Amino acid sequence: MVHQQHLRFSTNGRGTYNISQQISDVIEKSNIQTGICQIFIQHTSASLILCENADPTVRTDLDAFMKRLVPDGDSLFKHKDEGPDDMPAHIRTVLTESSLSIPVHKGKASLGIWQGIYLWEHRTSSFKRNLSVTIIGE
């Protein structure tokens, strides 16, 4: 069995957005009990991560780390058509994930209790982000 669905999220500046519930809803709708759920983001300046879901400081520390690792406006970068956060957003995407693959077990996302699914917006302004969710199994 294959189930595929498209989702659209509005982001409101750089940071992480918890999309675990929306992914769970798609898995439930699929009626697939055992298999693989693939989540894919169709952009090169926003990405997907699995991250600790209890203390929000984890995600702000993560963003602070990335800001230090890939500084906005770094003179190393020649590509800056869309501003100082343009090239850093591409690099942050490459260093994280465009696609997450999660097991489906007993009809649910088989995540650890501390794992949340996050869309990470790397641009500093607002965007519409298109995702697709594909579930294969039985």
Site residues (vs a second copy, CB under 8 A) = 2, 4, 34-36, 38, 40-45, 49-52, 55, 57-58, 60-62, 64-65, 68-70, 76-79, 81, 87, 90-91, 93-96, 98-105, 110-112, 114-115, 130, 132, 134, 136-138
Closest distance between a second copy and the C-beta of residue 138, in Å? 5
- In a 13 Å sphere around the CA of 64, the CA atoms on its Cβ side amount to 6
**For a second copy, the closer CB: 12 or 36:** 36
Q: Look-up: residue for tokens 């439930």?
A: 28
Closest distance between a second copy and the C-beta of residue 67, in Å? 9
Strand partners, 116: 51
The burial class, CB within 10 Å (0-12 / 13-18 / 19+), for 39 is buried
